[in-house]
Every structure is written in C-alpha cells, then in structure tokens.
Amino acid sequence: MGVVLDRWQEDIWYAALGVREDGSLACDVMGVTLSISRQAGKTWGIMVGLIAICLSRPGTLVVWSSHHDRTSSETLTKIAGIVEKPTIRPKMRAQYPVVQADDGRGVHFANGSRILFGARSSGFGRGFAEVDIEVYDECQNLKESALTDMLAAMNVSDLGLAFFMGTPPRPQEVALGVHDAFKRRRDKALEPKKRRPFKGVYVEFSPESPESVVADIDAPGFWEKLSEANPSFGFRVGKSAIERLVENMSPEDVLREVFGIWDKTNESLSVVPKDHWNTLAAYPDELPEVAAYGINATCSGWFWITACWREEEYAHVEIALGTQSEVEAMNFLSRHATKRTPIKFDSTGAAKALGEKLKQNYFNASAYTQNESGAGNALWLNLAEQGRLSHGGQAELDNAVRGSRRQDRSSGGWMLVPRSDSFDIGPAVAMSAAVYAAMTTRPSGGSRAVSRRGRNGAVAR
C-alpha cells in the first residue's frame, strides 16, 4: 500500500485482529476501545488498517460514525487523501471513488468494499444491514441506546469488528449521560476482579502519574509528561501543534484532551445523582396555586424564573420562564404573580435590578441573601433526598442540577456553582430560591397558575 504505520498503531491492529483457537476474533464481544488524546494519530492508524482490510476482503462494508457532522467530513477528507496514493488508487472504483454527499458518502473500492461516513447526531448508522466493521468516533458522546440499535447490524457478519474511539468525557457529557457506552467499556476493562472474560481490547494513553500533571505549558515537566501520553509527540507531532491546543483550552480540557486523563471526580461532583434526580420527575394533572417564584440571571444574559408549588411538606418545581429579555420577565411576573406571592431574586447583577423594579411596583419581592441561600440549598436538597421534592422533567432544569456542584462557604453553608463553564445553572439557583420562599412562608394563596413551557416562557392556563 505504500503506507507505514508506527509500532504502536501496528500493535493495536495485531490485538484487534487476534483470534482464538477456533478462529473467532478475541475481541468479538466488547470490540476495540481506544481512549487516546488528540494529535496522537489514532484516527489515521485505524483508517490505514481499514483500507487494508477492504482491499483484501471484497465486499466489506465499514460504517464510520462521528457525533458531529464536521468531524465526519474531516475524517472523510483525510481518508480520501490516503486512497489517492499511487499504490492504492488503481484498486479504487474507477469513477467517483470518493463520494462527498448523499447516502454513499465515503470511499468505494473496485472490489465492492465501502467505508461510509456520517454523523450520529443526524441519524447516521441506523438502518444498515450486514455491516462488517463499525467505527464509533467521538465515543465520549455515544448513548447506550444508539449503540444498541447500531451494533445489531453486524450480527450476520463473519467478521463483526467494532472500534470505539475518543478522549475522556467532559463534565457536560457526564452530566447528560452520553458518555455511558465509553465509560462502561473502560470500567469493564479496568475492573480488578472480572466475573467473566472481557473479550475485548482496551487501550488508554495517559501519563504514569496523572495526578502530578500540570496543564501549564510553561510548567516544569510538561513536555516530558506529554511524551508519556502521546507516542507521536517529538516524532510526528511538534510543539507548535500542542501549543495551539493548549492555548485554546481550559486547564481541565488540557488534562483530558491533550494528556488523555480521565477525571475521577466529575461523576461524584453533582449535588444530586442523575438516577435519583430522574426518579423525582412528576407530571401532575392539577397543581395548586404557585406558592413562590425564584429569579436568577446568568452571565450569558438569561433570566430564569422558577415556580414552586407547595402541598403541606411537599414541593414541586418547574421552570416558568427562560428569556433574555428583562421586559419579558417583568411582564410575565406582573401577569402571573399577585402582590402577595413571595418572589426571591438573586442579590447581584441583572436579577437584582429586576427584583428592585418588582419591589417598586409593590410586589412581595426580596433579595435571596447568602444566609438564605445556604439554608435554601440545604432545604431543597433534603427534600430531594427524602423524595418530597418533584420536578417537571424539563431539560434546562435537569441540566442545571446535573451541572451544579456544592461549594462550601467559610461563613457556613454552601452555594451552587457550575461544574464547568459549559453549564448554565441559573434554573437550579432560581429553584433553590423558589423552594426556600415557598417552604418558609405561610401559604396564603392568590397566585395565578402558569403552564409549563421552559425556555420559551409560560402562559396562563
């Protein structure tokens, strides 16, 4: 083929194609999982091996899926460059060996083999029959449900080889649970005492002592640690390529995507475990009058208004409005809150300005102070743990709670802070304020009901 792999890339293929005594693939159950940092060459190495298989095995069908369409297009461009090499081009389909659009998007060989590309986010990967090899790129964003649908396409193949490639998941992906397929393979591979054989290949590149790695490019030992995690550094990848990555990433992303280090704490940081939060979802047909509202405004310019309904010692919360317009937020509360309805607003920023306007219009609005938020956070969390808090299952509130972590205050209590900059936790902070106001105020009634519409706002029912 005129293409040479590096030793580590060859080793991955030796392991991937290893067979048992009966001739079956040793990795026929769990496939080949690669947790390898960026700029190492994992994608290129897998591409070359797939081309070799397609050339030697007529009629082979390979389905290569990425999460993003942009990644899929970039990967197709790379493999198109390989198949145009003089030693490979004569073995490709004479006309249109590379298709950049439509259902046949991919590379086509003269012997009938194909490598097709597409994005899972666009539905690519489902509906295929008799697939021989499946490649799941960007596996840090791969749901188990999608994987189940796609793997079934290999059931009739006598090869049935699957690759799962990616970098360690970010907190946002962990919070959404889209990393489960990737993490489960890692957990099974690294499990000290296995109940049954793994029947797969797991490869992870990261420094021997990840806890000692510093994301600062000028820190002593940075480049030495990088050599442990990236076998291509200093050989095929220079410092400039790494510097471009580091200078455009947060320190946390550098550890994950440049050094390949899995975050050991990002699943335990959530205030409420995802599974437990899901059990609290409820969709009551009838609700009493709104007991209180909470307001938070985020740096991204969003105003979040959360409503809390109270029935004795039970509370139900939903986002009543999400908007980037202060006028819309003011008009909403003017329509749906009475002068007696408790309204708690964040004591800083745009939420404070909105709250002061409500006070000037004689609404029962007051700042959600630090002391109150400390008590309010403990209150709603206690209700959630006891199963006395329910929510409407809105995606914005789900993501806000999962994306929040608790940070202790020196003066006592704790506050909600985002697990990373990618999370908007405004709905969760507004929820805390609404629950506190509802549960610490004697019910008086009189607030008008609202319907559930999340980010686009709410209207009277």
Dig out the tokens for 331 from the structure: 């008009």
Please check whether residue 381 lies inside any domain of the structure. yes
* Structure tokens given for 293: 């509202």
Which token pair is 214?
Answer: 């510093």
Is there a single domain that holds both residue 301 and residue 450? Answer: yes
Decide if 148 is inside a domain. Answer: yes
Assess whether 145 and 284 both reside in one domain.
Answer: no
CATH of the domain at 328: 3.30.420.280
Residue 47 tokens read as: 């591409």
Q: Which ranges of 386-412 would DSSP assign to H, the alpha helix?
A: 395-402
Return the pLDDT at 265. Answer: 52
Tokens of 31: 């496939």
**In this structure, are 201 and 299 located in the same domain?**
no
- The answer to whether position 217 is within a domain reads no
Contact in structure between 2 and 88 (CB atoms under 8 Å):
yes
Which residues, at least 6 apart from 454, have a Cβ–Cβ distance to it below 8 Å? 319, 322, 394, 395, 396, 397
Q: Tell me which residue has tokens 């607030």.
A: 447
Report whether 438 contacts 311 (CB < 8 A): no
Residue 196 confidence (pLDDT): 83
Residue 6 · residue 138 · CB < 8 Å: no
Of 117, 124, 80, residue with least CA distance to 98? 80
- Is beta strand 31-35 parallel, antiparallel or unpaired with respect to 161-166? parallel
H-run or E-run covering 176? helix 171-176
Do 35 and 182 fall into the same domain?
yes
Does one domain contain both 65 and 164? Answer: yes
As given in the structure block, the two tokens for residue 306 are: 């959360």
The residue behind tokens 């029959």 is 129
Q: Are residues 327 and 442 in the same domain?
A: yes
In this structure, the answer to whether residues 191 and 284 fall within a common structural domain is: no
In this structure, the answer to whether residues 182 and 302 fall within a common structural domain is no
Residues 323 and 441 in one domain: yes
Which are the contacts of 302, defined by CB distance < 8 A and separation ≥ 6?
322, 323, 324, 424, 426
DSSP symbol at 163: E
> What's the domain range around 329?
274-456
First-to-final CA distance of the chain: 68
49-52 long-range Cβ contacts below 8 angstroms, 24+ apart: 49/5, 49/9, 49/13, 49/16, 50/115, 50/133, 50/135, 51/1, 51/3, 51/79, 51/82, 51/83, 51/88, 51/107, 51/115, 52/1
Inter-CA distances, 78 with 43, 104, 328, 425, Å: 9, 17, 48, 39
H-state helical runs in 211-320: 222-229, 239-247, 251-253, 274-279
285 falls within a domain? yes
The predicted pLDDT at position 456 comes to 43
254 inside domain? no
Alpha helices in 257-315 (DSSP H): 274-279
Helical residues (DSSP H) of 17-68, grouped into ranges: 42-56
CA dist 297 and 275 (Å) reads 28
Q: What is the CATH number of the domain that holds 38?
A: 3.40.50.300
Q: In what order do the strands lie in the sheet with 133-136?
A: 98-99, 106-108, 114-119, 61-66, 133-136, 161-166, 31-35, 200-204
Residues 278 and 192 in one domain: no
> Considering the domain boundaries, does residue 245 fall inside one?
no
Residue with tokens 């649970």: 177
Instruction: Indicate whether 103 and 194 sit together in one domain.
Output: yes
Question: Which of 150, 184, 205 is where one domain is finished?
Answer: 205
Closest CA to 135 of 148, 151, 149, 121: 151
Does residue 280 share a domain with residue 194? no
CA distance linking residue 163 with residue 182, whole number of Å: 11
Please give the tally of structural domains in the chain.
2
Last residue of a domain, one of 149, 179, 205: 205
- Written as six digits, the tokens of 94 are 């004479």
> Is residue 368, in this structure, part of any structural domain at all?
yes
Of 205, 230, 251, the one marking the end of a domain is: 205
Report d(CA 422, CA 418) in Å as an integer.
Answer: 8
Say what the alpha-carbon torsion angle 375, 378, 381, 382 is, to the nearest 10 degrees: -110
User: Per-residue confidence of the chain (461 residues) as pLDDT tens digits?
Assistant: 778 899 999 999 999 999 999 988 999 999 999 999 999 999 999 999 999 999 999 999 999 999 988 898 999 999 999 999 999 999 999 888 999 887 789 999 999 999 999 988 888 878 788 899 999 999 999 888 778 778 888 988 989 999 999 999 988 787 777 888 898 899 889 887 777 888 999 999 999 888 888 888 998 889 999 999 999 998 889 999 999 999 999 888 999 999 999 986 555 557 888 889 999 999 998 888 999 999 999 988 999 999 999 999 999 999 999 999 999 999 999 999 999 999 999 998 999 999 999 999 999 999 999 999 999 999 999 999 999 999 999 999 998 998 888 888 877 788 998 876 667 899 999 999 999 999 999 876 555 555 544 444 443 32
In a domain, 262, yes or no: no
E strand segments, 120-254: 133-136, 161-166, 200-204
- Label the pairing between strands 98-99 and 106-108: antiparallel
Residue 445 gets the label, from left (phi > 0), alpha (psi -120 to 50) or beta, of: left
Compute the distance between CA of residue 305 and CA of residue 326 in angstroms, rounded to an integer.
11
- Token look-up 């290893």 returns 18
